[in-house]
Amino acid sequence: DAGVIQSPRHEVTEMGQEVTLRCKPISGHDYLFWYRQTMMRGLELLIYFNNNVPIDDSGMPEDRFSAKMPNASFSTLKIQPSEPRDSAVYFCASSLSTSGGETQYFGPGTRLLVL
Amino acid sequence: AQKITQTQPGMFVQEKEAVTLDCTYDTSDPSYGLFWYKQPSSGEMIFLIYQGSYDQQNATEGRYSLNFQKARKSANLVISASQLGDSAMYFCAMRETDGTASKLTFGTGTRLQVTL
């Protein structure tokens, strides 16, 4: 079975441009998570979905960030307008549940550089 | 206060030796879970091992074991017989249940370097 798929793997853009990151979770997983990883702040949860519904978006830094999950097999994280401080690796992860030893499976990440 | 603390920014270990990576946590939730992930230089996050707060025995997965000391709120990862491929960042994470939310909080990580 394929793991979590993210695209693009690398993105370089200029400040002020719109950036869209994409994620396909593992089939059958009901939970989808978006994380951001930076040297300064480590790995932070931005938002997560359960059955396509956003459950907790308290980690979304500001209104420039938005996330959607139109169906069980696809999610997007959009930054508009992008700023240099948004440069980071963005991970998508999915899991069957959030209880017990059920782990989150991470995608390879999207490395974003905003110039 | 930090929920997950990893006090060792970097560790060195010789090949074939054992190494312990420290992790302490802070929670008032009686039910929680502790996870360790490995992040090699290629960047992906790889799940290693899980310990539940009610588990009576320490978790083991191959060369990985978790030294769980509940009263001290510590969940150290032990890697036995280190291999060069173990060189990576290692993250400890905790899952608590806050109402209907159940999120992972990660530590800052420990960079392990395995030497010949």
Look over chain A and give the mean of its residue pLDDT values, rounded to a whole number.
Answer: 93
**Tens of pLDDT along A82-110?**
999 999 999 999 998 777 778 899 999 99
Interface test with B, best of A43, A46, A92, A104 (most B CBs within 10 A): A43
Which positions in chain B touch A55 (Cβ < 8 Å)? Answer: 100-101
Strands B64-69 and B60-61: antiparallel
Q: Is the pLDDT reported for residue A33 higher than 70?
A: yes
CB contact under 8 A, A89 and B101: no
Rounded Cα distance, A70 and B84, in Å: 43
Q: What percent of chain B has pLDDT over 90?
A: 82
Structure-block tokens of residue A2: 């394929």
Q: Which of A56, A89, A101 sits opposite B103 (nearest CB)?
A: A56
- Residue at token pair 């491929």: B85
Chain A residues with CB under 8 Å of B106 CB are 42-43
For residues A82 and B115, give the distance between their C-alpha atoms in angstroms, rounded to a whole number: 41
| pLDDT in the model for residue A87 | 97
Q: What is the mean pLDDT of residues B12-34?
A: 94
The nearest alpha carbon in chain B to A93 belongs to: B45
Beta-carbon contacts below 8 Å between A and B: 43
Q: What are the tens digits of pLDDT across the range B59-74?
A: 999 999 999 999 999 9
**Tell me, what DSSP letter sits at residue A61?**
-
Does residue A35 contact residue A44 with C-beta atoms inside 8 Å? Answer: yes
Quote the pLDDT of residue B1: 59
| Number of separate helices (H) and strands (E) present in chain B | 0, 12
User: At residue B69, what is the residue type?
Assistant: Q
Residues forming a β-bridge with A6 = A23
Q: Which residue has the higher pLDDT, B100 or B107?
A: B107
User: Considering only CA atoms, which of B84, B31, B83, B40 is closest in space to residue B62?
Assistant: B83
> Between A97 and A80, whose confidence is greater?
A80
Residues B103, A93: C-beta atoms closer than 8 Å: no
Q: Among candidates A103, A102, A113, A92, which has minimal Cα distance to A5?
A: A92
The 10s digit of each residue's pLDDT in A64-75 is 999 999 999 999
Angle at B90 between CA A33 and CA A111, to 5 degrees: 50
* Residue A74 and residue B13 in contact, taking contact as beta carbons nearer than 8 Å: no
Tell me what the mean pLDDT of segment A50-72 comes to: 93
Distance CA A78, CA A20 (A): 4
